[in-house]
A = this chain, B = another copy of it.
Amino acid sequence: MEISSKSPVSLYVQLKDYLVQEIKSHRLNPNDQIPSERELCDKFSVSRTTVRQAIRLAINEGLLYSIHGKGTFVAEPKIDQGLIRLTGFEETIKGRGLTPSMKVLEARLISADVHITGLLGLPVGSDIASFKLLGIANNTPMVLFYYYLPTALGLEAIEHVRSYEAQKGWFSFTRYYRETKQVDVGSAHQTFEATVATDEQAVLMEYPPGGALFKVTSIIYTREKEPLEVRYAYYRGDYYKFSISRDVGS
């Protein structure tokens, strides 16, 4: 591939396109280090500014990532999770050929704040079961989950998550509702937001503070429309995207 200042495409865009082709053709693979700035300057006879612009563009597009003092590497393609049929963490991670596991950061009864009791339709100050779980793929923390359940439903789950953790498994609340509690999930209301990692979340997820997080808030109801669970899930923005295909009405 040639890079030419006579092309109407800017030099740095041409250089980014070169990197795209290297990735698409598998000459560069996920987590490979890309050539140094100096090598790229020499190879294409372009300035260091041009090389840096190309790399910055590729990082912004999620194609590369850089580690301070180490260099620039090819990013893993993001996990693409369907939005219409929302798959569970275990299924999504296994579908990528990775091993899901769970770290229990909290599993206990707490006095709920007014916000959570309001969402669950409980009196202010009610005890609820509170869970904070880290979803891990192989050894990488991917998602931070917070679950809030009425005590009657959640008390038993506190024991379960501990035993699943010990077995290096993933505890599915949906399966627990159906199989243990004989409760059918009826519907869900979900909101999706972009947020940034707090210092605490960054430490837990081994993620830079201020890194982008995709936040999903779910309020889950029984078939009888009773609130069953409030869930907040924070997905690492560098690993996850969500997608939907739809017919567009006129």
Contacts and interface: CB of A to CB of B under 8 A. Distances in A.
A192 B83 contact: yes
A242 interface: yes
A187 interface: yes
A125 interface: yes
Interface string A153-195: 0000000000000000000000000100000111111111111
A129 to B, nearest CB: 15
A235 B111 contact: no
Given A17-B114, A111-B7, A196-B210, A245 B125 contact: no
Interface string A215-250: 100001000000000000001010011111111111
B210 A194 contact: no
A135 B114 CA distance: 35
Interface in A5-36: 7-9, 13, 16-17, 20-21
Given A9-B125, A17-B113, A246-B188, A214 B193 contact: yes
Interface residues of A, number: 56
Contacts of A43: none
Nearest to A198: B60
A85 interface: yes
9 contacts: A9-B113, A20-B115, A185-B248, A189-B244, A192-B214, A193-B214, A194-B195, A194-B212, A194-B214
Interface of A: 7-9, 13, 16-17, 20-21, 60-61, 78, 80, 83-85, 111, 113-115, 124-125, 178, 184-196, 198, 210-215, 220, 235, 237, 240-250
